[in-house]
A and B are shown apart, each in its own frame.
Chain A
Amino acid sequence: MAGELASTRAVSRTFAPVRTHLLIPTWVIIGFFLVAPVLMMLVYSFLTKEFRGGVIWDFSLAAYDQFIFDRGLFGDDPPQIEWTYIVIFARSIVQAAVATVLCLIIGFPTAYFIATRSPATRSMWLFLVTVPYWVNLLIRTVSMKFLIRDNGPLNEALLGLGVINEPIALINTDFAVQLGLFYSYLPFMVLPIYASVERYDFALSEAAADLYANRWTILRRVILPIVRPGIVAGCILVFVPSLGAFLAPDLLGGAKNFLIGSLIEEQFKGNAGNWPFGAAASMILLSLVLIALFIYARRQALRSAKAA
């Protein structure tokens, strides 16, 4: 066992210089398109706002202050906690969480179904899952809006069948937003779970059945714990972009209940924006996500340390 580990390390040492060279393009791209913009946002969030958009290069904590405190119309009242943005954040988290759960409920059986087809038909099913993503997200969201509006095909069909007597109000509700987010990010749930289930050894299900486990117990005690990394990856991949999404909330929610994504988008749009405030809101969002991921990673590390 120890010898095996040692030899693996020796191999990685041999390939180490080659690997460094090959990674240069990746580092350049990550640096330019990920690290630099985030640093820019970080810097902007500590600057003073220019009234027609843009920033003045003066250090200021005003953006963060505005997010947390209410100091009255002229900024000279005693500071009180400003609930508006905290509520927007909380609402966004709930919306993203509901979308994630919806994706999981539909995505897990879908992924399981695909992974249990014959290898030849699997690629076709995967292809079908990705087909909607060949169409731009905006167009998909708009078409969803047409589908679920009061006199749209969904309501017409239900009315025609006599299931309902008057149109269900779907459009401009929280549920419409959740549905939109669910539809936008479903493949991000399906694909990682599929990758896990595809590697899952179905002999383990047989072994569990052989050892007196019923279907539910097999799922709960054997399949789910083993494919958990895929489920977690899927949840992160759906939850994080859902949190910052603005298309679905704007188009399907009627921008009625503001979400973080729309809030941030507003700050950079036209002349009415407030760049430092938008940047600060982005940094707060980013910090929350990073903290959550960090806590999860720590828990995982502790768990595997305990196992070993």
Chain B
Amino acid sequence: MTETSIAIDVRNAVKRFGAVTALAGASLTIRDNEFFTLLGPSGCGKTTLLRLIAGFEEITEGEILLYGEDLGALPPNRRPINTVFQHYALFPHMTVAENVAFGMRRLGWTKADIEARTLRILDLVKLGDLAARRPAQLSGGQQQRVALARAMAPRPKVLLLDEPLSALDLKLRQAMRIELKQIQKDTGITFVFVTHDQEEALTMSDRIAVMSAGEIRQVGTPREIYEAPLDRFVADFIGETNVLDATVRRGSDDALTCHLTNGAAFPCHASVPPEDGAFAHVLIRPERLSLVPEAACDTGLTGVVDQAVYLGTDIQYGVRLDDGPDVLVRAQNVGADAVTHRTGDRVGLAIAPGAARLLVD
């Protein structure tokens, strides 16, 4: 049975609010025990998809299956799925322990079971000593943990997290990323995480679905998404990019070469090889480019350093290519002996093997 390893199966889900289409036919499968992230800018439909899974919105077309069973129009209180809300939505009139016990009470657990589980789960999120407090007496980070504990306590089959870290400050956010990932691993619950923060998505996820304008653009591991983005949107949204216009030549051994209008040529790769002579966008990440002496340059990419920004861990150069566009180059700051370039220096660019990739438009 392969069905059992799939926690959530979204089949061509469409959600329309009046004339507005929030989700235009999304399909994806989320595996059991997976940390799955829906990533995209605001308004891309990621929260709508999450709310469809939770049951807060009714699906317009398509279906969502939970472990092989169609959720249909099942209301949220009948779905074994819990949510960590963006602004936590903790019950202000209840203590931390009462908040955590809420779901288990509704499920009719025995008092002893509820107490034991509450203690255990509060321990897990390191809030054991705050059980009698009210939400208003907690810090943002603590409230976040209560929300997590409350959602995990009734042992949901899937846990949905709607930008849960967005209200925290940077330091706390970074710490919580690691902790969330750890809790997910330890508990083995399937997490569906919504965020617009690409760094968050890359650090925590097993797989990521990048969404835009109500559609899923690409699904893959963080590495796949970053290294081999399918299209320009994904490339632009995740990390910094250089996208160059090129004509693709297909060699005798099927090797692809990019030709820029200024005469530069270098090998490139594609998931779907295009026709010989096709026009294409080619993606090169700034950190996969390096500055070399002009004479030693074999790509034909030469130019003038336009800008040099010291970033601490890196130095970022802006290079104006001869008869070509500007590109960003990121060089790791390896120490005092590193060769640094000044604005106005003439340089050549070297491309790391496999770093130039064609995008599907």
Which A residues form the contact surface with B (CB < 8 A)? 1, 201, 203-204, 206-214, 217, 221-222, 225-226, 307-308
Beyond A204-B89, A206-B56, A211-B103, 4 additional pairs, beta carbon < 8 A: A203-B89, A209-B55, A212-B106, A226-B92
Please determine whether A208 and B87 come into contact, CB atoms closer than 8 angstroms: no
Please determine whether A212 and B154 come into contact, CB atoms closer than 8 angstroms: yes
Please determine whether A1 and B137 come into contact, CB atoms closer than 8 angstroms: yes
Please determine whether B85 and A211 come into contact, CB atoms closer than 8 angstroms: no
Question: B76, B78, B82, B87: which has the most chain A beta carbons within 10 Å?
Answer: B76
What are 8 of the A-B contact pairs (CB < 8 Å)? A207-B90, A209-B75, A209-B77, A210-B56, A210-B77, A211-B106, A212-B107, A221-B102
State how many angstroms separate the Cβ of A29 from the closest Cβ of chain B: 36
**How far apart sit A225 and B93, CA to CA, in the bound complex (Å)?**
7
**How far apart sit A211 and B56, CA to CA, in the bound complex (Å)?**
12
Please determine whether B134 and A217 come into contact, CB atoms closer than 8 angstroms: no
Known: A206-B76, A211-B150. Contact between A201 and B89, CB under 8 A?
A: yes
State how many angstroms separate the Cβ of A116 from the closest Cβ of chain B: 15
Please determine whether B83 and A210 come into contact, CB atoms closer than 8 angstroms: yes
Q: Does B54 contact A (CB under 8 A)?
A: yes
Closest to B101 in A: A211
Number of A-B contacts (CB under 8 A): 62
- In the A-B complex, list the 4 residue pairs whose CB atoms are closest, starting with the nearest: A211-B103, A212-B106, A207-B89, A203-B89
Q: Could you say which of A209, A222, A225 contacts B76, with CB atoms under 8 Å apart?
A: A209
Closest to A201 in B: B89
Please determine whether B134 and A207 come into contact, CB atoms closer than 8 angstroms: no
Q: Could you say which of A210, A212, A222 contacts B91, with CB atoms under 8 Å apart?
A: A222
User: What A residues does B77 contact at CB under 8 A?
Assistant: 209-214
Please determine whether B106 and A210 come into contact, CB atoms closer than 8 angstroms: no
Please determine whether A213 and B85 come into contact, CB atoms closer than 8 angstroms: no
User: What A residues does B78 contact at CB under 8 A?
Assistant: 212
Known: A208-B102, A213-B77. Contact between A203 and B107, CB under 8 A?
A: no
User: What B residues does A213 contact at CB under 8 A?
Assistant: 77, 102, 106
User: What A residues does B151 contact at CB under 8 A?
Assistant: 210-211
Please determine whether B103 and A226 come into contact, CB atoms closer than 8 angstroms: no
User: What B residues does A1 contact at CB under 8 A?
Assistant: 137
Please determine whether B93 and A212 come into contact, CB atoms closer than 8 angstroms: no
Known: A203-B87, A307-B134. Contact between A210 and B82, CB under 8 A?
A: yes
**How far apart sit A86 and B92, CA to CA, in the bound complex (Å)?**
43
Tell me which residues from 52 to 111 in chain B have a Cβ below 8 Å from any Cβ of chain A. 54-56, 75-78, 81-83, 85, 87, 89-93, 102-103, 106-107
Closest to A206 in B: B56
B144-157: CB near A (< 8 Å → 1, else 0) gives 00000011001000
User: What B residues does A210 contact at CB under 8 A?
Assistant: 54, 56, 76-77, 81-83, 103, 151
User: What A residues does B56 contact at CB under 8 A?
Assistant: 206, 209-210
**How far apart sit A210 and B77, CA to CA, in the bound complex (Å)?**
5
User: What A residues does B102 contact at CB under 8 A?
Assistant: 208, 211, 213, 221
Closest to B75 in A: A209
**How far apart sit A307 and B91, CA to CA, in the bound complex (Å)?**
14
**How far apart sit A307 and B98, CA to CA, in the bound complex (Å)?**
12
Please determine whether B89 and A206 come into contact, CB atoms closer than 8 angstroms: yes
Please determine whether A206 and B85 come into contact, CB atoms closer than 8 angstroms: yes
Please determine whether A203 and B106 come into contact, CB atoms closer than 8 angstroms: no
Closest to B95 in A: A307
**How far apart sit A200 and B91, CA to CA, in the bound complex (Å)?**
11
State how many angstroms separate the Cβ of A273 from the closest Cβ of chain B: 50
Please determine whether A204 and B76 come into contact, CB atoms closer than 8 angstroms: no
State how many angstroms separate the Cβ of B41 from the closest Cβ of chain A: 22
Closest to A212 in B: B106
State how many angstroms separate the Cβ of B50 from the closest Cβ of chain A: 11
**How far apart sit A207 and B137, CA to CA, in the bound complex (Å)?**
20
Closest to A225 in B: B93
Known: A209-B76, A210-B76. Contact between A203 and B92, CB under 8 A?
A: no
Known: A217-B106, A307-B134. Contact between A211 and B82, CB under 8 A?
A: yes
**How far apart sit A213 and B106, CA to CA, in the bound complex (Å)?**
6
